[in-house]
Structure formats: C-alpha cells, structure tokens
Structure 1
Amino acid sequence: MKQIKLTNTNPERLDVAVSRDLELSRTKIQRAIKNEQIFVDDSKAIAHQLVSDKNKVFYDPKITEVVKKSKSKPAPLDIIYEDKNVIVINKPAGVIVHDTETNTEPTLVDALIKHEKKIAKVGDRAERAGLVHRLDKAASGIMIIAKNQKAFEFLKDKFQSRTVEKHYTVLVQGHMPDAHGTIDFTIERSKTTGRMAAKPTSQGGKPAITHYDVVEKFPHHTLLDIKIETGRTHQIRAHMFALEHPVVGDTLYRQKGVKPRDIGRIFLHARALTIELPNGETKTFEAPLPNELKQVLEEIPKL
C-alpha cells in the first residue's frame, strides 16, 4: 500500500479528496473503496466519510494503473534539445500528454517511450513516465522531460521550488484593465462544474500567481505575454476566465451565451522555458508560434 498526502485542510468526503489528489474519477475511487483498496488511519474506508490532511490515507497502487488500449502509432517528436538527462520538445496542439482512464489516442508519453524505451521507468507513475510538468491537450509549446530518475528528481525540485521561468503567448477576448498586471486568485476544482475555479485568496483553494503584459491590442481581443509562478491545472485559462477575458478558442472556460471563436484549439502557446539543467547549465528554450495561430492573428481585425 502507498500513502497519499491529502491536500485539503477542511474535512470533505473521502472519495472527493482522493479522486482529486490522485486525479482519478470518483467512480473508480468508489469502486476501489468498495474493493478495500483504500484505508483511512488503518481502518476500512467508507466513501462518504469525512477526511482532511490530518488523516493517513493508504491506497493500492494498482488503482492508478491505466489499462492498455489499442492505439495508433504516436507522431514523431519535435525535439528542440536533447542530452543524456533531458529532452526538450515542442508539443503540438491536439496531442494529449499522458494516458487517462478513457483515452484511446497516442500520447506524448507513448512518443517519448518510442524514442527512448528507458523513459518508461522514469518518474512516479507509469502513465506519466518522464513528465515533470504538463500542457493541456489543446495547447502547444515547450516541454522538458526527464530521461532518468536522477534527472526527474532534479527537475521536479526545480518546478516545485518555482525556479523555472515559463512564458506563454495567449490571445484573450476583450481588453485587459491594465498594460501589465498580476492575478493572484487561488484555484480549486468546482464541485458543480468540474472545472478549475479561480477565486479571491480569502475563499480558499491553492495559491496561483499569473503575471501578464499586453503585447498587442485588437478591436475585440488582446495578445498577452504571460508568465506563471505556479503551475496549477488550467491556471491561465481559469485566471483569464475569472477576469471575464477567456482565452480565444476555449470551449470549457467561456462566458454563458458567448460562442467561442472556433480555431480548432485554444490560443495558448508555451513559447519559452528557462531552467537549470542537471548538468549545471541554465538554458532558455523557445518554440515559435505555430502557423495556425499566426493565421488567427492575420485574420482578426486590426486597430
């Protein structure tokens, strides 16, 4: 059995807390509880019992295993840099980073393992082999991957200590209130919509910090350079939505009654990443704006 460190300070249902922290469906967690694969404080668990970070929760690692499904071959990697410890790639939009319970598409992890088989044994969980951070399926840009366990621990520490500088090119609806700004709304998963909800810091949730600079204004849109200090799930998308300036193309975080511009993806591109590598060098990696996003900028009206 493995112990999971719960992140909620206030009591909530066991199945909700474990589902969030293991990033598995509540149905799967409830099934695991019924099959006695989850215990609380060395006692048999009940799905609706209340738990917090003060409880010791143990689970059978088998519940995190993803059933292998028939897939097509993964696309070749767009490699920007590679040494004996890391691979830096430019992820295209439309590629899911790692497997989920229902995914049947080839993933970035599949492509990484095809490129170098030993990556399959790197990391904390098999389906996330080599991964120290993620990008949404509908987003594109720079990602760094560990090729061995020592590099994985090194990079993981860099991300957790917030010493990695990450910049994104993002097009949003409307005009931002200022040319430069910082959003520090906390983020937590909504119990009603399943989306990440950004709220003022007094309302709980995990800390999240997003800095933005206006690059160019259009009649109905604004192009931003965004730097994030934290890496919460859907952080940029949730923060922009909270300010009522959703990311162009975002069908999940959108205003009611407003049909998002159909660009086949979201206009969110991880353009640059600066990080210290396991070999001691500090490097900045950049990925050019994809052609489909350049085309969007060419097509929208100018001021």
Structure 2
Amino acid sequence: MDEELYEEDEELQELYEHQRFVVDAKQGLLRIDRFLIERLKNTSRNKIQDGIKKGYVKVNDEEVKTNYKIRPADIVTISFPKPKIETEIIPQDIPLNVVYEDDHLMVINKEAGMVVHPAHGNWDGTLVNALVHRFQNLPTSRNGEVKPGLVHRIDKDTSGLMVIAKTEPVMTHLAKQFFDHTIERTYNAVVWGEPKEDTGTVIGHVGRSLKDRRVYTVFPDGEYGKHAVTHYQVLKRLRYVSLVKCNLETGRTHQIRVHMKHIGHNLFNDERYGGDKILKGEKFSKYKAFVENCFKIIPRQALHAKSLGFIHPITKEELRFESELPQDFQELLDKWEHYVQYT
C-alpha cells in the first residue's frame, strides 16, 4: 500500500475479505451455498450459510436466501468480515536511516523491502516495530492501534522518505497538510517506454479493481474510486525505458503505479501491475537476457520517494528533504545508460 494519507474507507475495506464470481453461461441451476462451497476453500458450509443470512453474500447487488439458485451470468459478491486479530506490537531494535529528527517529528529514508506497519503475514520486522522500540507513547492514527507515529505510508517495495509524528498535535497538523495537498512529495520511477511529452499530468479516479481487490485501477470520473492527480516529468530517455519524476498532488493507494500504467508506461519490474515483463524493445535473445539481468538487479518496482517537503507543525519552518537513489535503482539506470550508449 503505497503513497497515501490514511483514509477511513480504505481502512474499512481492509476489515473484509472481498471476492467476486461471475457465473458461467453454461452453469445449471444450483443452490448458492453449494455453488460457493466449491469455490471458497477452507470455508465451511455453516459459515457460508450464516454469511448469506447476514447479507455478506449478494447476487447482482441484492441479498438472497440460502435456497437461492444461481443462474448463468449472475454476479456473486462476498464480503465476509475478517476475524479480528488482537496483536501486541513487539518492540524490535531495527536500524533506521534517520534523515532528520527533533522533539516533535522524525524523517526517515525507508529501505525497499521494509513493511511499514504490522498486518497479515508481516506481524514483525516492520517500521512500526522499530518505532515502538525507539519511542514510547507515540500517537496513533485514525482507525488503527498498530500504526503509532504514522501519518502516511509507502509500499513495502518502494524506498524513500517518510515523516513520523512523535506527538498528537504534530500528527494532526501533518495529517491536515496531507489532506490539504500542501505536502510536497516527489518520486523517481523507471517506466517502460518513452512518454511523448516531456511533462504531463494524469487525472483519473483511483479505486480497487472490481475484478481483483489486490490491485487498484483508474475509473471514469465520478463512477468509482477517488479523485487522483499525478504530475510527471521525463528526466532521462533510455530508448526502451525512461526515468521520470512524479509529483503527487493527491495520495491514493498505488497512485503512481496505477496512473503510469494507465497511460501505457508501467513501472519497471512492477509485478502487480504488469511491469515485470518485457513491454518495449527488441526480440533478440541478447536483449531479453539484458532485461532479465536488470530484473535481478532491482527485484521490485523501480520507485523511490525522492523528496519530501512540509511546514514544521511547531516551528512553522519550511522543511524540505532530498534522498539519494538507492543502490539497486542507480545500478539499474547505469545498466540502461551503458546499453543505450553501446548498442
């Protein structure tokens, strides 16, 4: 989860397990509970029937009874509440790359691979585990007891700058700056292809895909999702890929990854959004081997939160921070520059 101020509806979405099935045109009449038990692994018939009775299962956006028989082309949607997991945050002495710190806040340069806060599959080893070891009584963000100090977040495999609040007033003030879009955030990304224009703006509502809730997508304005704006500038053209700078006007989940894919320039090696395949270039085996080697150099989406600027909530001073590109990112650029120069 990449690049966003915590938003209430995003948090509520995480409380449910969402699934969607479109009934095959050749499907014969079949009770809804029998239909689902074949598709929901490790889910008992009792749980399915109880979920139908409680309205967690809908057909064509309407609640049904347990004896409802599905028909071809029916759309079955499921929103089972996730089991509540009570977990204590384990303080862990994890090194952090601290860029700036005072009594009120801290700015860090997060390494790629570090999860920001505990969640399913990552209950320790996160940034939050490091923060509760380092500080006591950090403020918690809205709708979450396990996110002390966090005002925003960036994806696990995105590297770069984050600001941490040490007190409640500072968190509130910073959160308002994010909400008002007055925080300056720029990212560097390597994308497939070369944009036609040197600068541009992508405007498009971003929301969870209706087909796969693990990913986000762009929807027509007003139809679904939230208003999102990304400004980009081409910094370097490398024949089949480009280095671009992205400035976030809004901060939706996966915004840069989704917006750049939307305009045909998927982030390099972004597995979730299709950038982990050769999307531009030659058919020669030598080129394919070169790209595969580049994938190994940076086994993640090529995205780095390069700069961060905001007003200090207490001193009112304008603060701005720049970070250097991480080693894997820089090595990727060097490889492509060498390739373009000598082939």
Question: Shorter-chain TM-score category?
Answer: 0.7 to 0.9
1:111 and 2:118 aligned: no
The residue aligned with 1:21 is 12
The residue aligned with 1:58 is none
Q: What are the residue-to-residue correspondences of 1:80-91 with 2, within 5 Å?
A: 80-91=99-110
Q: Distance in 2 between matches of 1:169 and 1:207?
A: 22
CA distance 1:183–1:64, shift in 2 (3 Å): farther
State which of 152, 159, 172 in structure 1 corresponds to 2:191: 172
Deviations 1:73-122 (A, max 9, x none): 45211111111111100000000001113324410011111111222x43
CA shift, 1:281, in A, is: 1.0
Q: Which has the larger radius of gyration?
A: 2
CA shift, 1:66, in A, is: 4.6
Q: Relative to structure 2, which stretch is displaced further, 259-268 or 213-222? A: 259-268
- Amino acid in the other structure paired with 1:173: W
Q: Distance in 1 between matches of 2:198 and 2:226?
A: 26
CA distance 1:104–1:65, shift in 2 (3 Å): closer
CA shift, 1:67, in A, is: 2.6
Per the alignment, in what secondary structure is the counterpart of residue 137 of structure 2? helix
Q: Distance in 1 between matches of 2:206 and 2:239?
A: 30
The residue aligned with 1:197 is 217
State which of 219, 224, 245 in structure 2 corresponds to 1:225: 245
The residue aligned with 1:59 is none
Q: Distance in 2 between matches of 1:258 and 1:105?
A: 35
CA shift, 1:256, in A, is: 9.3
Q: Distance in 1 between matches of 2:254 and 2:140?
A: 25
Q: Distance in 2 between matches of 1:65 and 1:284?
A: 38
The percentage of counterpart residues that share the same residue type is 32
Q: Distance in 2 between matches of 1:110 and 1:233?
A: 22
Q: What are the residue-to-residue correspondences of 1:116-135 with 2, within 5 Å?
A: 116-119=135-138, 121-124=139-142, 125-135=144-154
Could you state the TM-score of these two structures normalised by the residue count of structure 2?
0.69
Per the alignment, in what secondary structure is the counterpart of residue 187 of structure 2? strand
Could you say what the CA RMSD is over the residues aligned between the two structures, in angstroms? 2.9
Q: Relative to structure 2, which stretch is displaced further, 183-192 or 96-105? A: 96-105
CA shift, 1:72, in A, is: 9.6
- Amino acid in the other structure paired with 1:46: G
The residue aligned with 1:40 is none
Per the alignment, in what secondary structure is the counterpart of residue 46 of structure 1? coil
CA distance 1:287–1:6, shift in 2 (3 Å): closer
- Amino acid in the other structure paired with 1:92: E
Tell me the number of residue pairs that the alignment of Structure 1 and Structure 2 aligns.
Answer: 263
CA shift, 1:275, in A, is: 0.3
Q: Distance in 2 between matches of 1:180 and 1:89?
A: 29
State which of 266, 270, 291 in structure 1 corresponds to 2:301: 266
Kept after mapping to 1: 8 A contact 2:151/2:175 = yes
Unaligned runs of 5+ in 1: 8-18, 36-43, 52-61
The residue aligned with 2:157 is 138
Deviations 1:122-160 (A, max 9, x none): 333221111111100000000001101111111111101
Kept after mapping to 1: 8 A contact 2:186/2:307 = yes
- Amino acid in the other structure paired with 1:284: R
Q: Distance in 2 between matches of 1:277 and 1:65?
A: 36
Per the alignment, in what secondary structure is the counterpart of residue 328 of structure 2? helix
- Amino acid in the other structure paired with 1:267: A
Kept after mapping to 2: 8 A contact 1:277/1:283 = yes
Per the alignment, in what secondary structure is the counterpart of residue 146 of structure 2? helix
Q: Distance in 2 between matches of 1:204 and 1:89?
A: 34
- Amino acid in the other structure paired with 2:310: I
The residue aligned with 1:286 is 322
Q: Distance in 2 between matches of 1:177 and 1:20?
A: 37
Deviations 1:244-275 (A, max 9, x none): 21111210001696488342222100010110
The residue aligned with 2:267 is 247
Kept after mapping to 1: 8 A contact 2:309/2:319 = yes
Deviations 1:224-257 (A, max 9, x none): 0110111100000011111221111210001696
Q: What are the residue-to-residue correspondences of 1:150-169 with 2, within 5 Å?
A: 150-169=169-188
The residue aligned with 2:96 is 77
Q: Distance in 2 between matches of 1:189 and 1:96?
A: 20
Deviations 1:13-46 (A, max 9, x none): xxxxxx863423417xxx9xx99xxxxxxxx963
CA shift, 1:203, in A, is: 3.9
Kept after mapping to 2: 8 A contact 1:171/1:223 = yes
CA shift, 1:284, in A, is: 0.3
1:302 and 2:340 aligned: yes
Unaligned runs of 5+ in 2: 1-6, 19-42, 48-52, 63-81, 280-291
